[in-house]
Amino acid sequence: MNILKYETVSLDENEKALLILDQTKLPAQVNILHLTEIHDIHNAIYTLQVRGAPAIGIAAAFGLYLEALKIDAQDSPSFLAKLRQAKDYLNSARPTAVNLSWALNRMYNSVNVSMSIPEIREILRLEALAIKSEDTETCRRIGEYGLTLIHDGDGILTHCNAGQLATSKYGTALAPIHLGRERGMNFHVYCDETRPLLQGARLSAFELMADGVDTTLICDNMAAQVMKEGRVRAVFVGCDRAASNGDCCNKIGTSGLAVIAKHYGIPFYVFCPVSTVDMNIKTGSEIVIEQRKPEEITEMWYSKRMAPDNVNVYNPAFDVTDHELITGIVTEYGIALPPFTESLKTITNANQAHCLR
């Protein structure tokens, strides 16, 4: 089955529903959820039925539009007040990936009180569709830049899933691999399993194999050995929020990989659309790290509990890789190199110039 033929997230305009490929069921089952209620959309984001920074932004944008179709109000100011509540509610589903608030703010800021309610609804529909289609183009461009960093046949190590399942198409860190495949290239990708939710095993390995990529699954604690054996030309990872100094927050375990890669002299690249760069924060220490349930570590995936009852569990879902460990940040406007404070400023300004055109 080719999972790449399915849309990660889309809008069914006839049914007025958000369609989500339920990632909690992969790889065993391909199940498309049809969601119409804001609470179900919030829950889908919280439970990772849809996940990955760009994908949750797109899902929330469609969710806000669908909610706008239901809001009952006499005039535009009271309509917008209710829209704002819906935006804040969706934004509360997950705290770390900035794309969620970025997409919701973009939606909300696209409308104003001078518009009629039908006009507001139509603008929100168009904006949500634009967020999705721009994401595809962004990922393709990120993939083009990423391809300049590797050669046919290279071994690449990746963590979590920053592929098509985390975006509208191609992915970010996996975009060069998929684009390379379109051009007849072959890479050998090592997928970290990615404890505790196994996005590497369940999603990246599945997605890459569907594209015919030579894929090898490893446990997270095997990465150092694989790097030491000389199997890895570069590490490619995604990003949930980058600070203006280049500190990058991504799935828990990413930062450890960067430390190991530095030890073995292996380039470590973060793939990050400009929408994931948060220029409002100076360093990664300002990023709120999502904490998740202990059961994800102690019970989930096991047929019986694998830890003592009442053991203390710490389960941060993300970590921050210090900018000193990052070789480059690959965006749709080019590859930012150290010092990131300067290069990210140039790249985000290029984005603003592009948006104004």
Q: Which residues are catalytic?
A: 240
Q: Least Å distance between CB 278 and ligand MRU?
A: 14
Structure tokens at 4: 């790449």
Q: Please, which residues have CB within 8 angstroms of residue 246's CB and are 6 or more apart in sequence?
A: 323, 326, 329, 336, 338, 339, 340, 341, 343, 344
Q: Which chain residues interact with ligand MRU by CB under 6 A? A: 48, 51-54, 97, 160, 162, 166-167, 171-172, 199, 238-240, 250-251, 317
Q: Least Å distance between CB 236 and ligand MRU?
A: 10
Question: What type of residue is 87?
Answer: K
Q: Least Å distance between CB 144 and ligand MRU?
A: 16
DSSP state of 202: I
Alpha carbons 218 and 93: distance in angstroms, whole number:
30
Our CB check for ligand MRU shows the closer of 169 and 251 to be: 251
The CA R_g of the chain, rounded to the nearest whole Å, is 20
Our CB check for ligand MRU shows the closer of 76 and 246 to be: 246
Our CB check for ligand MRU shows the closer of 76 and 138 to be: 138
Residue of 240, 244, 270 lying closest to 342 (CA atoms): 244
Which residue has the CB atom at the shortest distance from ligand MRU?
238
Peptide bond into 338 cis (omega under 30): no
Whether the Cβ atoms of residue 244 and residue 282 lie closer than 8 Å to each other: yes
| 285-301 exposure pattern, b = at least 16 Cβ within 10 A, e = fewer | eebebbebebebbbeee
Our CB check for ligand MRU shows the closer of 78 and 334 to be: 334
Q: Least Å distance between CB 69 and ligand MRU?
A: 27
Q: Least Å distance between CB 287 and ligand MRU?
A: 12
Structure tokens at 95: 């705290």
Our CB check for ligand MRU shows the closer of 12 and 220 to be: 220
